[in-house]
C-alpha cells in the first residue's frame, strides 16, 4: 500500500517551483491558477524572493501547497498517472493537509489557495508579534513533552504542537511559558531545546481566533469526498466525509499535529511506500518513525520521471 504526503511550513525556499515551471506547462498552469485565485504574483515571489516575503505565513502556506500540487500535476499529466489508482491514502503536515485534500480533489486548487491565504493571515493576526513562541524539544517523547508543558504553563498556554517522531516534539504557547518549558527540559533530560524562528505560536489554544476564522471560511467552501481518504493531523485516522473534514481542519488550527501517530497508523494499516511531493522534509521523518518504510521525495523533473517509472 502507498501514501502520498505533502509538506508543511518551513519547507519553502526562494527558487521553489522555478525549474518545474520552466520544464512543464502543467506546472506553470498550477502557478498561474494560484496567482489568479489570490490576485497576486505569488509565483514570482516563489521564484525570485525576497526571502522575507516568501517566509510570511500568508505567502508561505499557499506557496508550499502550489509547489507540491504542481509536482503532482506534472506526474499525473505527463506520466499518465491517476492518483486514485496509485495511492491508498494522502496525508499532510499542518498546512500540508490542505495540499493532500487538494490532491485528492476534496478542494479545487483555487479554493485551496484562498483558504491557505486566509489561514496564514488569520494565524498571524491571532497573537501579537513577540507574545508567543515555539521551540523544538530534541530527545523527548510526546508524554515527556506534554508533562513539561503542563508544569511550565502556570496559567498560561503551553502545548505540544507537533509530534514529529524520532524524539522531536515542537511546543507552542505564550513566550514566557515556552521559555519556562525550555528551562525545565534541561532538568528533565531532554537532549536539546531549540527556539524556533516563527512569527506566531501555531497549533495551540492561542490560535483560537484563527480557528474561528477558518470555521467560517470552511463552512462556505465546497468540500467534496476525497478520491482517497486523508489521514487527519488531529486524529491520526483516515477521514472521507466532507463535514468531518471541515471539522478536523478547524480543530487542526489549535490542535496537535499528530504526525508520528499518523505514520504509525498508516504503517499498521499496511502502508509500506511513502511518496512526498515538493520537498524532502517528511521523508526523513517517516524513516525515523517506520525505519523499514520505502520513502521517496519528489521535487525535480528527474524525480517525477523516476516515480512515474516506479509506479
Half-sphere exposure of 104 (CA within 13 A, CB side): 31
- Torsion sign across C-alpha atoms 236, 240, 241, 246: positive
Chain-centroid distance, C-alpha 84: 21
CA distance 311 to 273: 11
Residue pair 283/3 in contact (Cβ under 8 Å)? The answer is no
Residue pair 279/96 in contact (Cβ under 8 Å)? The answer is no
Residue pair 81/66 in contact (Cβ under 8 Å)? The answer is no
Q: Which one of 185, 203, 262, 297 is the catalytic residue?
A: 203
Beta bridge partners of 273: 2, 294
196 burial (CB, 10 Å; 0-12 / 13-18 / 19+) is middle
Beta bridge partners of 174: 132
Chain-centroid distance, C-alpha 205: 18
Q: Which one of 11, 24, 93, 94 is the catalytic residue?
A: 94
Active-site residue, 94 included:
yes
Q: Which sequence positions are flagged as catalytic?
A: 94, 203
Amino acid at each position: 500500500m502507498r501514501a502520498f504526503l505533502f509538506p508543511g511550513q518551513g519547507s519553502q525556499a526562494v527558487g521553489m517551483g522555478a525549474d518545474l515551471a520552466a520544464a512543464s506547462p502543467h506546472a506553470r498552469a498550477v502557478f498561474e491558477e494560484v496567482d489568479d485565485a489570490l490576485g497576486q504574483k505569488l509565483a514570482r515571489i516563489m521564484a525570485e524572493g525576497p526571502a522575507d516575503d516568501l517566509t510570511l505565513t500568508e505567502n508561505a502556506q499557499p506557496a508550499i501547497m502550489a509547489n507540491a500540487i504542481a509536482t503532482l500535476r506534472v506526474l499525473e499529466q505527463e506520466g499518465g498517472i491517476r492518483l486514485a489508482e496509485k495511492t491508498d491514502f494522502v496525508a499532510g503536515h499542518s498546512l500540508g493537509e490542505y495540499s493532500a485534500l487538494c490532491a485528492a480533489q476534496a478542494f479545487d486548487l483555487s479554493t485551496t489557495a484562498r483558504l491557505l491565504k486566509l489561514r496564514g493571515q488569520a494565524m498571524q493576526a491571532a497573537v501579537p508579534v513577540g507574545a508567543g513562541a515555539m521551540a523544538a524539544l530534541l530527545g523527548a517523547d510526546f508524554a515527556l513533552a506534554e508533562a513539561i508543558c503542563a508544569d511550565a504553563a502556570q496559567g498560561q498556554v503551553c502545548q505540544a504542537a507537533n509530534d514529529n517522531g524520532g524524539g522531536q516534539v515542537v511546543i507552542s504557547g505564550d513566550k514566557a511559558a515556552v521559555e519556562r518549558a525550555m528551562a525545565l527540559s534541561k532538568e528533565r533530560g531532554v537532549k536539546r531545546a531549540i527556539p524556533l524562528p516563527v512569527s506566531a505560536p501555531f497549533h495551540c489554544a492561542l490560535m483560537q481566533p484563527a480557528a474561528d476564522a477558518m470555521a467560517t471560511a470552511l463552512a462556505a467552501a465546497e468540500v467534496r469526498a476525497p478520491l482517497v481518504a486523508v489521514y487527519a493531523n488531529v486524529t491520526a485516522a483516515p477521514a472521507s466525509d466532507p463535514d468531518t473534514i471541515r471539522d478536523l481542519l478547524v480543530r487542526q488550527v489549535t490542535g496537535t499535529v499528530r504526525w508520528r501517530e499518523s505514520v504509525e497508523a498508516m504503517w499498521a494499516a499496511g502502508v509500506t511506500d511513502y511518496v512526498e511531493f515538493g520537498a524532502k522534509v517528511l521523508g526523513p521523518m517517516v524513516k525515523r518513525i517506520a525505519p523499514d518504510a520505502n520513502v521517496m521525495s519528489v521535487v525535480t523533473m528527474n524525480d517525477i520521471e523516476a516515480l512515474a517509472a516506479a509506479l
